Amino acid sequence: MTAARPARSGRADRVVTVGRGSLIGLVLVLVAAPAVGAAYSEGWTVPVVGAAVGAAVMNLAVRLVVDRGVGPTLVIVHLVGIVLWVTAAVRPAVDGATALGGMGDSVARLLTTLPPVDARGPELAVAVVATWVASATATALASRRGAGPAAAAPAVLLFAAALLVADPRRSLPDRVPAGLTVAVGLALAVFALVRSADREGRSTPERAA
């Protein structure tokens, strides 16, 4: 009976840790997402936001279901998820190029094309893949015990990369960088509180002994 209780407690702690981390990572990336949209014409929202949500959901599901080999399983699941989502959510370009077919030189075209970039084809696929990777990385780092500032880095890097290809004629609303700053600050505060509570929880049995 006593052995079952720690097992249930450990399972509950795992659910809380993974759920909290997945939510924090997702929120950080979603707050940075409007910077991605600043480079594109209308039509970017569903593919980009869907990529962020899909990566977070997969992180949550795999970490709660899989006990061993979580890392390799996540890599495989995310790769499959990226291919399926890009294929389903990104429309072919005007010239007929499919989302995955022209990915090779799409980054170069993004950097040389005057924004707003058409929200179709390989060019949008770059943003979708980048957002998925950022969300997958952020949620994975935030889901670990002792999560810290590194969990906020993917969202910040996504935001910075988006500014490189953003339309200079379309000013990004101040609420976007301000919102990201606030979100990162709140995330770091939550991580600090969790680490403090964990240290306190570990020290209590020692004092009792």
**pLDDT tens, 124-142?**
889 999 999 999 999 999 9
**pLDDT tens, 21-78?**
999 999 999 999 999 888 888 889 999 999 999 999 999 999 999 888 888 999 999 9
**pLDDT tens, 108-124?**
777 777 777 888 888 88
pLDDT of the residue at 2: 47
What percentage of the chain reaches a pLDDT higher than 90? 46
Nearest Cα neighbor of 55 from 84, 34, 90 is 84
pLDDT of the residue at 142: 93
pLDDT of the residue at 208: 47
Burial 111-140 (b: 16+ CB within 10 A, else e): eeeeebbebbbbbbbbbbbbbbbbbbbbbb
User: How far is residue 127's CA from residue 44's CA, in Å, rounded to a whole number?
Assistant: 9
Higher pLDDT, 205 or 13: 13
User: How far is residue 202's CA from residue 197's CA, in Å, rounded to a whole number?
Assistant: 9
User: How far is residue 164's CA from residue 170's CA, in Å, rounded to a whole number?
Assistant: 13
Q: How confident is the model at residue 147 (pLDDT cuts 50, 70, 90)?
A: confident
Nearest Cα neighbor of 50 from 80, 90, 22 is 90
Higher pLDDT, 12 or 102: 12
The total of other beta-carbon atoms located within 10 Å of residue 49's CB is 19
Helical segments of 69-174, H only = 70-89, 106-112, 121-142, 153-165
pLDDT of the residue at 122: 84
Residue 59 near residue 74, CB atoms below 8 Å? yes
Give the orientation angle of helix 175-208 with respect to helix 4-37, to 10 degrees: 160
What CA–CA distances, in Å, run from 182 to 10, 155, 164, 169? 32, 13, 22, 26
pLDDT of the residue at 79: 95
pLDDT of the residue at 179: 93
DSSP symbol at 113? S
User: How far is residue 5's CA from residue 112's CA, in Å, rounded to a whole number?
Assistant: 60
What rounded mean pLDDT belongs to the chain?
Answer: 84
